[in-house]
Amino acid sequence: MKTTTVQPDRKSRREFLRSTAKLATGCLIAPHIVPASALGVGSTPPSERVNVGLISCGGRAMYESRCLAGTDKCQLVAVCDPQEDRRLRAKEVFEKTYAERKRSGAYKGCDAYADFRDVLARADVDAVYIATPDHWHVPITIAAARAGKDMHTEKPLGVSIAEDIAAREAVRRYGRVFQYGAERRSTTAARHAIELVLNGRIGKVQAIHVVSPASVKGGSATPVLPVPAGFNYDLWLGPAPEAPFCQDRCLASGNGNGIFHIYDYAIGFIAGWAAHPLDQVQWWADNAGMGIPVNYEGTGTLPDSGLFNCLTQWDVRCRYESGLPLRFMDNSTASQQDIPGIRSPNAATFVGTEGWVSVGYSEVQTDPPSLRNSVIGANEIHLVCSNPAGGEYAEAHHRSWIDCVRSRKDPVGNIESAVRSDLISHLSDICVRVGRPIRWDPVKETIVGDEAARRRMSRAAREPWAV
């Protein structure tokens, strides 16, 4: 497959539209802006609207991108998926959505592509929402940055430590606006919970517990099937090794889908689901000056048969340089422990000298219960609020990203924090796989004193997809 080199835009599309509008009037009067409502998409003028490309059109992508289609601050102008039926369905859904806003009841303006590079090559695309399987997150993030596009990248970030670091370097080098898909940061209750911990409502933090669902075992590489018509399977594999096509590899539905549990495409739910509570921990750590844990020691279980080969159980004891312990477990292991606050199957729990706060995926719990009503004072620590209206958090997360694309401010889930939280997953997975403790050097950003573990920081990739 040939590669396409895309050069970053030197002038944004919105800047171009502003300048041409001024030229059209001889620069003597204020430019006339055609109202977006005249185009059937709301009240934001075209020069200010963000054109978005959707990269991957699976279930999660379609669920989340409804938030983008529902605001006039942006417009979905391109969809992309190596599966033809998915991309054509997405095109139909979004064109129908926009058509319903037009008096004529017709709209054709969302193009469908098999190859994400065709989306990145479009000069009118300002930003992309990357909702691919995990093994494509970083390669497309880097390609988007080089092409001058901003990006909202789903969690978890990369399939290796080296990928995470490369993504951070590319985003900052090309000055792009990056939003991480850990949308719990846009939940009012979660933000308040982390502020409680930062402002000492539970006293001094003595321990942190992180709990996540685990990957499942099973799956079969047989029978080998012919690749369905309209499915560019080679592009779907991308940087991953060549492998025979089968149902459980990429067509199964739900949490049994191989894209979540096959190590070629992910490191499993130790990153996929754990990204949510680890991101909450990192939100606290970034504002408490804590970095990430440097010591990792633990045990875990890998499947001994089947196609799925990610951790189905783990219990990793991590420690920050300050000595603060963080225990990271799958929810089955956690359910057998007598630990304060462990009530949710997907949560970060902070235990302090005067109580605890547990930030779950769907709720926040505290001890004492009265902490939930504690008001954060004007002179106390306040986190970035990406959901000022207190609305649905996924919608707020996406729309705050669009606002940041327009303002060029860092979103609530920036690239540095995304990398740090993702590193905890990778380092935990590595220590279990090598079967011994490992130590992370946060300055050199490498595993020290263990060459075999250090080699696991990166992965080989098929050409031309090496990061």
Q: Which helix (H) or strand (E) holds 119?
A: helix 116-120
| CA neighbor of 387 nearest in space, from 181, 192, 187 | 187
Residue 246 reports pLDDT greater than 60:
yes
- Provide the pLDDT for residue 338: 85
- Provide the pLDDT for residue 42: 52
Pick the residue with more confidence: 216 or 12? 216
- Provide the pLDDT for residue 5: 38
- Provide the pLDDT for residue 237: 98
Q: Which helix (H) or strand (E) holds 439?
A: strand 438-441
- Residue bearing tokens 């970060």: 348
Report percent pLDDT > 70 for the chain.
90
CA distance 268 to 187: 25
Residue 350 reports pLDDT greater than 90:
yes
What confidence category does residue 21 fall into, taking pLDDT thresholds of 50, 70 and 90?
very low
What confidence category does residue 104 fall into, taking pLDDT thresholds of 50, 70 and 90?
low
What confidence category does residue 33 fall into, taking pLDDT thresholds of 50, 70 and 90?
very low
Pick the residue with more confidence: 104 or 133? 133
- Provide the pLDDT for residue 333: 96
Residue 16 reports pLDDT greater than 90:
no
CA distance 56 to 86: 8
First-residue to last-residue Cα distance in the chain: 16
pLDDT tens per residue across span 197-228: 999 999 999 999 999 999 999 999 999 999 99
Rounded to 5 degrees, what are φ and ψ at 58? Answer: -75, -170
Residue 459 reports pLDDT greater than 90:
yes
What confidence category does residue 47 fall into, taking pLDDT thresholds of 50, 70 and 90?
confident
- Provide the pLDDT for residue 37: 40
Mean pLDDT, all residues of the chain:
90
What confidence category does residue 313 fall into, taking pLDDT thresholds of 50, 70 and 90?
very high
Q: At what angle do helices 415-434 and 161-173 cross, to 10 degrees?
A: 170
Residue 6 reports pLDDT greater than 70:
no
Residues 54/131, Cβ–Cβ less than 8 Å:
yes
Rounded to 5 degrees, what are φ and ψ at 300? Answer: -170, 175
CA distance 251 to 366: 41
What confidence category does residue 284 fall into, taking pLDDT thresholds of 50, 70 and 90?
very high
Q: Do the bridges between strand 355-360 and strand 150-153 make them parallel or antiparallel, or are there none, so unpaired?
A: unpaired
Q: Do the bridges between strand 111-113 and strand 74-80 make them parallel or antiparallel, or are there none, so unpaired?
A: parallel
What confidence category does residue 109 fall into, taking pLDDT thresholds of 50, 70 and 90?
confident
| CA neighbor of 327 nearest in space, from 197, 212, 155 | 212
What confidence category does residue 19 fall into, taking pLDDT thresholds of 50, 70 and 90?
very low
- Provide the pLDDT for residue 107: 78
Q: Within a 10 A sphere around the Cβ of 283, how many other Cβ atoms? A: 28
| CA neighbor of 240 nearest in space, from 165, 158, 154, 151 | 158
pLDDT tens per residue across span 374-410: 999 999 999 999 999 988 999 999 999 999 999 999 9
Residues 293/326, Cβ–Cβ less than 8 Å:
yes
Residues 75/148, Cβ–Cβ less than 8 Å:
no
Using alpha carbons only, what angle is made at residue 229 by residues 227 and 235, rounded to the nearest 5 degrees? 60
- Provide the pLDDT for residue 307: 96
Q: At what angle do helices 275-288 and 188-198 cross, to 10 degrees?
A: 40
pLDDT tens per residue across span 146-198: 999 999 999 999 999 999 999 999 999 999 999 999 999 999 999 999 999 99
CATH numbers and ranges of domains, the chain: 13-184 (3.40.50.720), 186-388+415-467 (3.30.360.10)
Residue 10 reports pLDDT greater than 50:
no
What confidence category does residue 431 fall into, taking pLDDT thresholds of 50, 70 and 90?
very high
DSSP-derived letter for residue 250 is H
Pick the residue with more confidence: 416 or 12? 416
